[in-house]
Structure 1
Protein backbone atom coordinates (compact mmCIF):
# COMPACT_ATOMS: atom_id res chain seq x y z
CA UNK A 1 0.00 0.00 0.00
CA UNK A 2 1.34 3.43 -0.93
CA UNK A 3 2.13 5.62 2.08
CA UNK A 4 1.03 9.24 2.33
CA UNK A 5 4.65 10.34 1.99
CA UNK A 6 5.16 8.24 -1.16
CA UNK A 7 1.92 9.53 -2.69
CA UNK A 8 2.90 13.14 -2.06
CA UNK A 9 6.40 12.52 -3.41
CA UNK A 10 4.96 11.13 -6.67
CA UNK A 11 2.84 14.23 -7.40
CA UNK A 12 4.20 16.40 -10.18
CA UNK A 13 3.65 19.37 -12.48
CA UNK A 14 4.23 18.75 -16.19
CA UNK A 15 6.77 21.06 -17.85
CA UNK A 16 4.06 22.19 -20.28
CA UNK A 17 2.31 23.94 -17.38
CA UNK A 18 5.57 25.51 -16.27
CA UNK A 19 6.04 26.90 -19.76
CA UNK A 20 2.59 28.50 -19.51
CA UNK A 21 3.01 29.94 -15.99
CA UNK A 22 6.49 29.51 -14.52
CA UNK A 23 5.32 31.41 -11.41
CA UNK A 24 2.79 28.69 -10.52
CA UNK A 25 3.05 26.74 -7.27
CA UNK A 26 0.78 24.15 -5.65
CA UNK A 27 0.68 23.46 -1.94
CA UNK A 28 -0.65 19.93 -1.42
CA UNK A 29 -1.97 19.08 2.04
CA UNK A 30 -3.02 15.55 2.95
CA UNK A 31 -5.24 15.23 6.03
CA UNK A 32 -6.16 11.93 7.67
CA UNK A 33 -8.53 11.26 10.54
CA UNK A 34 -11.00 13.93 9.44
CA UNK A 35 -14.51 14.20 10.84
CA UNK A 36 -16.88 14.56 7.86
CA UNK A 37 -20.59 15.31 7.88
CA UNK A 38 -23.16 17.90 6.88
CA UNK A 39 -22.62 21.63 7.41
CA UNK A 40 -22.62 22.49 11.10
CA UNK A 41 -21.91 25.30 13.57
CA UNK A 42 -18.15 24.99 13.06
CA UNK A 43 -18.26 25.39 9.30
CA UNK A 44 -21.00 28.03 9.54
CA UNK A 45 -18.84 30.26 11.75
CA UNK A 46 -15.94 30.06 9.30
CA UNK A 47 -18.14 30.81 6.28
CA UNK A 48 -19.87 33.73 7.98
CA UNK A 49 -16.52 35.30 8.86
CA UNK A 50 -15.26 34.80 5.30
CA UNK A 51 -18.40 36.40 3.87
CA UNK A 52 -18.02 39.43 6.12
CA UNK A 53 -14.41 40.05 5.10
CA UNK A 54 -14.49 39.01 1.42
CA UNK A 55 -12.70 41.30 -1.02
CA UNK A 56 -13.75 42.44 -4.50
CA UNK A 57 -12.15 40.00 -6.98
CA UNK A 58 -11.94 42.77 -9.58
CA UNK A 59 -9.59 44.66 -7.28
CA UNK A 60 -7.39 41.81 -6.03
CA UNK A 61 -4.13 41.05 -7.89
CA UNK A 62 -4.20 37.31 -7.22
CA UNK A 63 -7.72 36.92 -8.59
CA UNK A 64 -6.69 38.99 -11.62
CA UNK A 65 -3.64 36.78 -12.20
CA UNK A 66 -5.87 33.72 -12.25
CA UNK A 67 -8.16 35.23 -14.84
CA UNK A 68 -5.09 35.91 -16.99
CA UNK A 69 -3.89 32.31 -16.51
CA UNK A 70 -7.25 30.97 -17.68
CA UNK A 71 -7.13 33.14 -20.79
CA UNK A 72 -3.62 31.87 -21.55
CA UNK A 73 -4.86 28.32 -22.20
CA UNK A 74 -7.99 29.38 -24.03
CA UNK A 75 -10.60 29.44 -21.25
CA UNK A 76 -13.03 32.32 -21.03
CA UNK A 77 -12.83 33.47 -17.38
CA UNK A 78 -16.24 35.15 -17.49
CA UNK A 79 -17.84 31.82 -18.45
CA UNK A 80 -15.60 29.43 -16.51
CA UNK A 81 -14.22 31.43 -13.63
CA UNK A 82 -11.26 30.43 -11.47
CA UNK A 83 -12.68 28.89 -8.30
CA UNK A 84 -11.70 31.70 -5.93
CA UNK A 85 -13.04 34.33 -8.34
CA UNK A 86 -16.39 32.53 -8.46
CA UNK A 87 -16.58 32.20 -4.67
CA UNK A 88 -15.70 35.84 -4.04
CA UNK A 89 -18.47 36.94 -6.40
CA UNK A 90 -20.96 34.83 -4.44
CA UNK A 91 -19.87 36.06 -1.02
CA UNK A 92 -22.06 39.21 -0.88
CA UNK A 93 -25.20 37.08 -1.38
CA UNK A 94 -23.90 34.17 0.71
CA UNK A 95 -21.43 31.38 0.09
CA UNK A 96 -22.78 27.88 -0.58
CA UNK A 97 -23.28 25.49 2.32
CA UNK A 98 -22.27 22.05 1.02
CA UNK A 99 -20.79 19.85 3.73
CA UNK A 100 -18.50 20.25 6.72
CA UNK A 101 -15.16 19.72 4.95
CA UNK A 102 -16.03 21.61 1.77
CA UNK A 103 -17.36 24.56 3.77
CA UNK A 104 -14.10 24.72 5.74
CA UNK A 105 -11.87 24.87 2.68
CA UNK A 106 -14.17 27.31 0.87
CA UNK A 107 -13.96 29.66 3.85
CA UNK A 108 -10.16 29.53 3.79
CA UNK A 109 -10.16 30.06 0.02
CA UNK A 110 -12.18 33.26 0.34
CA UNK A 111 -10.31 34.56 3.39
CA UNK A 112 -6.90 34.13 1.72
CA UNK A 113 -7.93 34.73 -1.91
CA UNK A 114 -6.46 31.44 -3.09
CA UNK A 115 -8.00 28.76 -5.31
CA UNK A 116 -8.45 25.76 -3.03
CA UNK A 117 -9.97 22.35 -3.70
CA UNK A 118 -10.41 19.22 -1.62
CA UNK A 119 -10.75 15.62 -2.79
CA UNK A 120 -11.18 12.16 -1.29
CA UNK A 121 -7.74 10.55 -1.22
CA UNK A 122 -9.17 7.03 -0.99
CA UNK A 123 -10.76 7.47 -4.42
CA UNK A 124 -7.52 8.31 -6.22
CA UNK A 125 -5.92 5.90 -8.67
CA UNK A 126 -2.19 6.53 -8.68
CA UNK A 127 -0.39 9.83 -8.23
CA UNK A 128 -1.75 13.31 -8.76
CA UNK A 129 -0.31 15.43 -11.57
CA UNK A 130 -1.03 18.72 -13.27
CA UNK A 131 -0.72 18.69 -17.04
CA UNK A 132 -2.18 19.98 -20.30
CA UNK A 133 -4.82 17.67 -21.71
CA UNK A 134 -4.62 15.92 -25.05
CA UNK A 135 -8.44 15.88 -25.21
CA UNK A 136 -9.02 12.14 -24.76
CA UNK A 137 -8.98 11.99 -20.95
CA UNK A 138 -12.29 11.06 -19.29
CA UNK A 139 -13.91 13.53 -16.91
CA UNK A 140 -16.82 12.19 -14.85
CA UNK A 141 -19.68 14.42 -13.71
CA UNK A 142 -23.40 14.36 -13.06
CA UNK A 143 -25.90 16.00 -15.41
CA UNK A 144 -29.63 15.91 -14.79
CA UNK A 145 -29.05 13.35 -12.05
CA UNK A 146 -27.29 10.96 -14.44
CA UNK A 147 -23.57 10.12 -14.69
CA UNK A 148 -21.91 11.65 -17.76
CA UNK A 149 -18.37 11.40 -19.11
CA UNK A 150 -16.92 14.42 -20.89
CA UNK A 151 -13.45 15.24 -22.20
CA UNK A 152 -11.38 18.38 -21.74
CA UNK A 153 -10.27 20.44 -24.69
CA UNK A 154 -6.76 19.78 -25.99
CA UNK A 155 -4.34 22.11 -24.26
CA UNK A 156 -6.57 22.66 -21.23
CA UNK A 157 -4.75 22.64 -17.87
CA UNK A 158 -6.08 19.74 -15.78
CA UNK A 159 -5.34 17.80 -12.64
CA UNK A 160 -5.50 14.06 -13.22
CA UNK A 161 -4.64 10.60 -11.90
CA UNK A 162 -4.33 7.19 -13.62
CA UNK A 163 -8.09 6.96 -14.32
CA UNK A 164 -8.74 10.40 -15.74
CA UNK A 165 -9.24 14.08 -15.01
CA UNK A 166 -9.94 14.99 -11.39
CA UNK A 167 -10.31 18.74 -11.95
CA UNK A 168 -10.81 20.63 -15.21
CA UNK A 169 -9.41 24.03 -16.13
CA UNK A 170 -6.86 24.09 -13.32
CA UNK A 171 -9.34 24.72 -10.49
CA UNK A 172 -12.70 25.26 -12.19
CA UNK A 173 -14.66 22.02 -11.69
CA UNK A 174 -13.93 18.75 -9.87
CA UNK A 175 -15.05 15.32 -11.01
CA UNK A 176 -17.60 13.28 -9.07
CA UNK A 177 -15.29 10.30 -8.58
CA UNK A 178 -12.88 12.00 -6.17
CA UNK A 179 -15.07 14.71 -4.68
CA UNK A 180 -15.45 15.01 -0.91
CA UNK A 181 -18.51 13.41 0.66
CA UNK A 182 -20.00 13.26 4.13
CA UNK A 183 -18.06 10.01 4.59
CA UNK A 184 -14.57 11.28 3.62
CA UNK A 185 -11.94 10.81 6.34
CA UNK A 186 -8.77 11.07 4.18
CA UNK A 187 -8.45 14.01 1.83
CA UNK A 188 -5.99 15.96 -0.24
CA UNK A 189 -6.34 19.72 -0.48
CA UNK A 190 -4.76 21.74 -3.31
CA UNK A 191 -3.89 25.42 -2.88
CA UNK A 192 -2.97 27.16 -6.16
CA UNK A 193 -0.69 30.21 -6.23
CA UNK A 194 0.56 32.56 -8.94
CA UNK A 195 3.05 35.43 -8.75
CA UNK A 196 1.02 37.93 -6.67
CA UNK A 197 0.79 35.35 -3.84
CA UNK A 198 4.26 34.66 -2.50
CA UNK A 199 5.34 31.48 -0.70
CA UNK A 200 4.86 33.06 2.73
CA UNK A 201 1.23 33.94 2.00
CA UNK A 202 0.65 30.51 0.45
CA UNK A 203 1.98 28.74 3.53
CA UNK A 204 -0.12 31.02 5.76
CA UNK A 205 -3.22 29.91 3.86
CA UNK A 206 -2.11 26.30 4.27
CA UNK A 207 -1.70 26.78 8.03
CA UNK A 208 -5.15 28.36 8.25
CA UNK A 209 -6.59 25.30 6.53
CA UNK A 210 -4.77 22.75 8.70
CA UNK A 211 -5.65 24.70 11.85
CA UNK A 212 -9.33 24.71 10.87
CA UNK A 213 -9.33 21.01 9.95
CA UNK A 214 -7.56 20.01 13.17
CA UNK A 215 -9.87 22.19 15.28
CA UNK A 216 -12.84 20.42 13.69
CA UNK A 217 -11.16 17.00 14.06
CA UNK A 218 -8.66 17.06 16.97
CA UNK A 219 -7.23 13.66 16.00
CA UNK A 220 -6.43 14.66 12.42
CA UNK A 221 -2.90 14.27 11.07
CA UNK A 222 -1.57 16.35 8.15
CA UNK A 223 1.37 16.29 5.76
CA UNK A 224 2.23 18.71 2.97
CA UNK A 225 4.41 19.31 -0.06
CA UNK A 226 5.04 22.46 -2.09
CA UNK A 227 5.30 21.85 -5.84
CA UNK A 228 6.82 24.41 -8.21
CA UNK A 229 6.20 24.72 -11.93
CA UNK A 230 9.71 26.03 -12.52
Structure 2
Protein backbone atom coordinates (compact mmCIF):
# COMPACT_ATOMS: atom_id res chain seq x y z
CA UNK A 1 0.00 0.00 0.00
CA UNK A 2 2.72 2.46 0.96
CA UNK A 3 4.52 1.88 -2.35
CA UNK A 4 1.43 3.05 -4.27
CA UNK A 5 0.98 6.43 -2.54
CA UNK A 6 1.07 9.18 -5.17
CA UNK A 7 1.35 12.95 -5.41
CA UNK A 8 -0.26 14.11 -8.65
CA UNK A 9 1.96 16.24 -10.93
CA UNK A 10 -0.67 19.00 -10.78
CA UNK A 11 -0.01 19.31 -7.04
CA UNK A 12 3.76 19.20 -7.51
CA UNK A 13 3.44 21.98 -10.10
CA UNK A 14 1.61 24.08 -7.51
CA UNK A 15 4.29 23.51 -4.84
CA UNK A 16 7.43 21.74 -6.11
CA UNK A 17 8.82 21.87 -2.56
CA UNK A 18 6.10 19.59 -1.23
CA UNK A 19 7.11 16.24 0.22
CA UNK A 20 5.25 13.74 2.36
CA UNK A 21 6.65 11.14 4.70
CA UNK A 22 4.14 8.30 4.61
CA UNK A 23 4.20 5.87 7.52
CA UNK A 24 2.16 2.69 7.80
CA UNK A 25 1.88 1.24 11.29
CA UNK A 26 0.54 -2.24 12.01
CA UNK A 27 -0.59 -3.82 15.27
CA UNK A 28 -1.51 -0.74 17.27
CA UNK A 29 -3.33 -1.09 20.56
CA UNK A 30 -4.99 2.29 20.81
CA UNK A 31 -6.98 3.52 23.75
CA UNK A 32 -8.35 6.63 25.45
CA UNK A 33 -6.15 9.52 26.51
CA UNK A 34 -4.26 8.70 29.70
CA UNK A 35 -1.76 10.41 32.01
CA UNK A 36 1.07 9.47 29.65
CA UNK A 37 -0.43 11.15 26.58
CA UNK A 38 -1.63 14.10 28.68
CA UNK A 39 2.01 14.68 29.59
CA UNK A 40 2.94 14.58 25.88
CA UNK A 41 0.29 17.16 25.07
CA UNK A 42 1.23 19.44 27.96
CA UNK A 43 4.92 19.41 27.01
CA UNK A 44 4.09 19.94 23.33
CA UNK A 45 1.90 22.93 24.20
CA UNK A 46 4.89 24.58 25.87
CA UNK A 47 7.20 23.76 22.95
CA UNK A 48 4.76 24.43 20.10
CA UNK A 49 5.80 26.68 17.25
CA UNK A 50 4.11 30.05 16.84
CA UNK A 51 1.30 30.59 14.35
CA UNK A 52 3.68 33.07 12.71
CA UNK A 53 6.45 30.50 12.29
CA UNK A 54 7.73 30.48 8.66
CA UNK A 55 6.81 26.81 8.33
CA UNK A 56 3.17 27.59 9.06
CA UNK A 57 3.14 30.73 6.94
CA UNK A 58 4.28 28.58 4.04
CA UNK A 59 1.15 26.47 4.38
CA UNK A 60 -1.05 29.55 4.23
CA UNK A 61 0.67 30.51 0.98
CA UNK A 62 0.03 27.02 -0.40
CA UNK A 63 -3.68 27.33 0.46
CA UNK A 64 -3.94 30.65 -1.34
CA UNK A 65 -2.25 29.10 -4.38
CA UNK A 66 -5.24 26.81 -5.01
CA UNK A 67 -7.86 29.38 -4.05
CA UNK A 68 -8.53 28.58 -0.39
CA UNK A 69 -8.76 31.26 2.28
CA UNK A 70 -6.48 30.15 5.14
CA UNK A 71 -8.06 32.57 7.61
CA UNK A 72 -11.39 30.80 7.12
CA UNK A 73 -10.27 27.19 6.64
CA UNK A 74 -6.87 26.93 8.29
CA UNK A 75 -4.17 24.35 7.56
CA UNK A 76 -4.42 21.70 10.27
CA UNK A 77 -1.23 22.64 12.11
CA UNK A 78 -2.17 26.34 11.99
CA UNK A 79 -5.49 25.56 13.66
CA UNK A 80 -3.86 23.25 16.18
CA UNK A 81 -1.22 25.69 17.45
CA UNK A 82 -4.01 28.21 18.11
CA UNK A 83 -5.96 25.65 20.14
CA UNK A 84 -4.35 25.44 23.56
CA UNK A 85 -4.52 23.38 25.65
CA UNK A 86 -4.29 20.69 22.98
CA UNK A 87 -7.40 18.51 22.68
CA UNK A 88 -7.44 15.03 24.20
CA UNK A 89 -8.67 12.54 21.56
CA UNK A 90 -7.05 9.13 22.02
CA UNK A 91 -3.51 7.81 22.48
CA UNK A 92 -2.61 7.65 18.79
CA UNK A 93 -4.12 11.00 17.83
CA UNK A 94 -2.54 12.60 20.90
CA UNK A 95 0.82 11.25 19.73
CA UNK A 96 0.68 12.75 16.25
CA UNK A 97 -0.80 16.06 17.44
CA UNK A 98 2.16 16.30 19.84
CA UNK A 99 4.64 15.90 16.97
CA UNK A 100 2.67 18.23 14.70
CA UNK A 101 2.79 21.31 16.92
CA UNK A 102 6.41 20.75 18.00
CA UNK A 103 7.62 20.66 14.41
CA UNK A 104 5.11 22.95 12.72
CA UNK A 105 3.97 20.41 10.14
CA UNK A 106 0.56 18.96 9.31
CA UNK A 107 0.10 15.27 10.13
CA UNK A 108 -2.85 13.22 8.95
CA UNK A 109 -3.82 9.93 10.56
CA UNK A 110 -5.96 7.37 8.72
CA UNK A 111 -7.45 4.03 9.73
CA UNK A 112 -6.08 1.58 7.15
CA UNK A 113 -8.89 -0.85 7.86
CA UNK A 114 -11.33 1.71 6.45
CA UNK A 115 -9.15 2.78 3.54
CA UNK A 116 -9.87 1.61 -0.03
CA UNK A 117 -6.88 1.47 -2.35
CA UNK A 118 -3.87 3.77 -2.24
CA UNK A 119 -3.72 7.30 -0.88
CA UNK A 120 -3.15 9.96 -3.51
CA UNK A 121 -2.91 13.73 -3.36
CA UNK A 122 -4.72 15.33 -6.29
CA UNK A 123 -6.51 18.44 -7.46
CA UNK A 124 -10.21 17.70 -7.24
CA UNK A 125 -12.57 17.36 -10.18
CA UNK A 126 -15.35 18.57 -7.89
CA UNK A 127 -17.68 15.57 -7.75
CA UNK A 128 -15.72 13.37 -5.33
CA UNK A 129 -17.77 12.37 -2.23
CA UNK A 130 -16.59 13.62 1.15
CA UNK A 131 -18.30 12.20 4.25
CA UNK A 132 -18.72 14.49 7.27
CA UNK A 133 -21.01 14.78 10.28
CA UNK A 134 -23.09 17.93 10.62
CA UNK A 135 -25.35 18.37 13.65
CA UNK A 136 -25.11 14.66 14.41
CA UNK A 137 -26.08 13.56 10.90
CA UNK A 138 -23.85 12.07 8.20
CA UNK A 139 -23.65 14.39 5.20
CA UNK A 140 -21.95 13.84 1.83
CA UNK A 141 -20.17 16.98 0.65
CA UNK A 142 -17.93 17.60 -2.38
CA UNK A 143 -14.72 19.62 -2.81
CA UNK A 144 -14.32 22.63 -5.04
CA UNK A 145 -12.89 22.17 -8.52
CA UNK A 146 -9.10 22.41 -8.33
CA UNK A 147 -8.98 22.01 -4.56
CA UNK A 148 -6.02 19.98 -3.29
CA UNK A 149 -7.36 16.84 -1.59
CA UNK A 150 -6.23 13.47 -0.34
CA UNK A 151 -8.40 10.66 -1.64
CA UNK A 152 -8.72 6.89 -1.97
CA UNK A 153 -10.88 4.71 -4.24
CA UNK A 154 -14.10 5.65 -2.41
CA UNK A 155 -13.70 9.42 -2.23
CA UNK A 156 -12.00 12.30 -0.49
CA UNK A 157 -10.31 11.44 2.80
CA UNK A 158 -9.10 14.98 3.60
CA UNK A 159 -10.18 18.29 2.09
CA UNK A 160 -8.05 21.36 1.39
CA UNK A 161 -4.80 19.42 1.64
CA UNK A 162 -5.01 18.87 5.41
CA UNK A 163 -7.88 21.05 6.64
CA UNK A 164 -10.60 18.52 7.43
CA UNK A 165 -10.65 14.72 7.52
CA UNK A 166 -13.59 12.56 6.49
CA UNK A 167 -15.46 10.54 9.11
CA UNK A 168 -14.90 7.19 7.40
CA UNK A 169 -11.13 6.92 7.85
CA UNK A 170 -10.50 8.75 11.10
CA UNK A 171 -8.50 6.98 13.80
CA UNK A 172 -10.58 5.67 16.69
CA UNK A 173 -9.78 3.67 19.82
CA UNK A 174 -10.51 0.52 17.79
CA UNK A 175 -7.91 1.32 15.10
CA UNK A 176 -5.15 -1.31 14.83
CA UNK A 177 -3.48 -0.44 11.50
CA UNK A 178 -2.90 3.17 10.49
CA UNK A 179 -1.44 5.43 7.82
CA UNK A 180 0.25 8.67 8.84
CA UNK A 181 1.00 11.45 6.35
CA UNK A 182 3.62 13.96 7.53
CA UNK A 183 3.52 16.87 5.07
CA UNK A 184 6.42 19.21 4.40
CA UNK A 185 6.91 22.50 2.61
CA UNK A 186 10.02 24.69 2.60
CA UNK A 187 11.56 26.06 4.77
CA UNK A 188 11.25 22.78 6.67
CA UNK A 189 14.17 20.54 5.72
CA UNK A 190 13.83 16.91 4.78
CA UNK A 191 16.07 16.07 7.73
CA UNK A 192 13.58 17.71 10.09
CA UNK A 193 10.74 15.86 8.38
CA UNK A 194 12.51 12.56 8.98
CA UNK A 195 13.22 13.57 12.60
CA UNK A 196 9.50 14.21 13.11
CA UNK A 197 8.79 10.74 11.73
CA UNK A 198 11.27 9.21 14.16
CA UNK A 199 9.67 11.09 17.05
CA UNK A 200 6.21 9.85 16.06
CA UNK A 201 7.53 6.30 15.76
CA UNK A 202 8.97 6.50 19.28
CA UNK A 203 5.66 7.67 20.74
CA UNK A 204 3.71 4.94 18.90
CA UNK A 205 6.18 2.35 20.18
CA UNK A 206 5.40 3.62 23.67
CA UNK A 207 1.69 3.08 22.99
CA UNK A 208 2.34 -0.38 21.52
CA UNK A 209 5.78 -1.95 22.08
CA UNK A 210 6.89 -3.97 19.07
CA UNK A 211 4.57 -2.23 16.61
CA UNK A 212 5.56 -2.64 12.94
CA UNK A 213 6.39 0.62 11.13
CA UNK A 214 7.16 1.15 7.43
CA UNK A 215 7.94 4.54 5.90
CA UNK A 216 8.46 6.10 2.48
CA UNK A 217 9.37 9.64 1.44
CA UNK A 218 7.36 10.87 -1.55
CA UNK A 219 8.57 14.06 -3.19
CA UNK A 220 8.65 15.92 -6.51
CA UNK A 221 11.03 14.38 -9.01
Normalised by the length of structure 2, the TM-score is 0.98
Q: 1: distance between equivalents of 2:120 and 2:50?
A: 31
Provide structure 2 residue ranges, at least 5 long, that are not aligned to the other structure.
none
Whether 2:214 is the aligned partner of 1:214: answer no
Deviations 1:189-220 (A, max 9, x none): 00000011111000000000001000111021
Which residue does the alignment assign to 2:64? 71
Q: 1: distance between equivalents of 2:32 and 2:207?
A: 13
Q: What is the SS of the residue equivalent to 1:85?
A: helix
Superposition deviation, residue 117 in structure 1: 1.2
1:48 to 42, 50, 57: 42
Superposition deviation, residue 55 in structure 1: 2.4
Which residue does the alignment assign to 2:94? 103
Which residue does the alignment assign to 1:86? 79
Deviations 1:76-126 (A, max 9, x none): 0001000111111113xx111111111111011011111011110111111
2:184 to 186, 193, 197: 193
**Contact preservation (8 Å) 2:92, 2:207:** no
Provide the alpha-carbon RMSD of the alignment: 0.8
Q: 2: distance between equivalents of 1:117 and 1:129?
A: 13
Whether 2:21 is the aligned partner of 1:18: answer no
Superposition deviation, residue 153 in structure 1: 0.1
List 4+ stretches of structure 1 deviating above 2 A.
none
Whether 2:143 is the aligned partner of 1:149: answer no
Provide structure 1 residue ranges, at least 5 long, that are not aligned to the other structure.
1-6
